[in-house]
Structure 1
Amino acid sequence: MSLTNIWIQTRADGLVRADQVSGIEAHRTPALAGKPSRWLLDIVLPAVTGSGTATAGEGPAWALGPTHRTMIQTPDDPGDAPTALARLLAQLDPVHAAGVITAAIASPPARASDSPPGDPHRDRDATAVATTSRIRFQFHPFPHPPTASHDTEAHYL
Structure 2
Amino acid sequence: MGLENVWVATLTDGLIRADYIAGIETHQTPALTGKPSRWLLDVTLTVSAGSGTKDSWEVSHLHRTLAQTDVYPAQAAEELARRLHRLRRDGAAGVLRTYVRYEELSFEFSYFDAGEAAE
Q: TM range, normalised to the smaller chain?
A: 0.7 to 0.9
Q: Could you say which residue in structure 1 is the equivalent of 2:14? A: 14
Map 1:91-110; keep pairs closer than 5 Å. Answer: 91-107=86-102
Q: What is the distance in 2 between the residues matched to 1:44 and 1:19?
A: 11
Q: Could you say which residue in structure 1 is the equivalent of 2:24? A: 24
Shift, 1:50, TM fit: 3.7
AA aligned opposite 1:42: D
Q: What is the distance in 1 between the residues matched to 2:14 and 2:40?
A: 16
The CA deviation string for residues 45-68 of structure 1, in whole angstroms up to 9 with x for no partner, is: 022224568xxxxx64x6532100
- 2:20 touches 2:47 (CA, 8 Å); kept in 1? no
Map 1:43-62; keep pairs closer than 5 Å. Answer: 43-51=43-51, 60=56
Q: What is the distance in 2 between the residues matched to 1:28 and 1:81?
A: 14
Give the root-mean-square deviation of aligned CA atoms. Answer: 2.0
Q: What is the distance in 2 between the residues matched to 1:27 and 1:44?
A: 13
The CA deviation string for residues 83-126 of structure 1, in whole angstroms up to 9 with x for no partner, is: 00000010111211111000111336xxxxxxxxxxxxxxxxxx
Q: What is the distance in 1 between the residues matched to 2:98 and 2:77?
A: 11
- Give yes or no for the alignment of 1:138 onto 2:108: yes
Q: What is the distance in 2 between the residues matched to 1:77 and 1:64?
A: 30
Map 1:79-94; keep pairs closer than 5 Å. Answer: 79-94=74-89
> Percentage identity across aligned positions?
46
- Give yes or no for the alignment of 1:65 onto 2:99: no
Which protein shows a greater Rg?
Answer: 1
SS at match of 2:71: coil
Unaligned residue ranges in structure 2 (runs of 5+)? none
Q: Please report the TM-score for the alignment, with normalisation by the length of structure 1.
A: 0.66
Q: Please report the TM-score for the alignment, with normalisation by the length of structure 2.
A: 0.85
Shift, 1:138, TM fit: 0.5
The CA deviation string for residues 15-44 of structure 1, in whole angstroms up to 9 with x for no partner, is: 000001001111111111111111111111
AA aligned opposite 2:40: L
Larger strand share, 1 or 2: 2
